[in-house]
Structure 1
Amino acid sequence: MRRDHGAVPVEFAAAVGLLLFPIFVFVMTIAPVVERRTVAGRAAAEAARAFAVADDESSGRSAAQSIVDQIDANHPFSLSLSLAGTLDRGAVVTASVVVGMPIVLFPGIDGITVADYTATHQEEVDLFRSLDP
């Protein structure tokens, strides 16, 4: 009769290495992607709103950029903003925020950013707003 002493530790090590480690890496990779998508979407929404309620285009662009800069300062990744549209009554303004996405991320090692994600938000300029003549 054969004795199989010592087989369980080998199987346990193989199970941890081959099954649990890939799951761990997947979970650690998904969290930063979700965070960056959420931050970019919120930054685009806030920037579009700041631009749409501004008194003129230059102050609106400045306010929108200021909001994105403030959000950018609170996170370890960078955001870039682009604005489109005019402040005419009923017009639609669009804010687009681009953030780099890490494709592979291991704990303690910076990810390799190879893809950009663009979050876009549109905001309508109020039809009944007061504008200078």
Structure 2
Amino acid sequence: PPVARRPPSASVKGMSKRSSKNSFITPASGRMVDMCARGGTSMVTPRFDPRVFKTPGLRTPAINERIYTFSAKGSPLAEPEDIVLTLPLGGGESIRLTEKDLTKKNFLQLNPKAQGLMQKLSVSVRQCCPSVTSQG
């Protein structure tokens, strides 16, 4: 009876089965590349300096989008009870103020745009919470 023989493997012919183009793609990174192409998480992590008080690269949240803060002031040991107010300053910059930071002295040290945002916010708070009174 004739015996079926398999063709010789590619390595026998001196050729690699894999192209050199794909030699650096592992199954995990191959999926990541596909996911990144579809708009998933990028493989490049942006570098942030935790000593800088401003948060770079902010975008405007969508309507009703939930915003989560994992740590205040860059420390996972920050008080979880702290009330944090984030004011966008434009150009991807923002400033974060805690309840303790909201003093008349600190308010006067803010730039004009941040002061305007604080005044606008105080008007909105007084409109939605009539029991809040102005303390001058």
Q: TM-score over 0.5 for the alignment?
A: no
Higher RCO, 1 vs 2 (CA within 8 Å, ≥6 residues apart) = 1
Name the structure with the higher helix share.
1
Name the structure with the higher strand share.
1
The structure that has the greater radius of gyration is 2
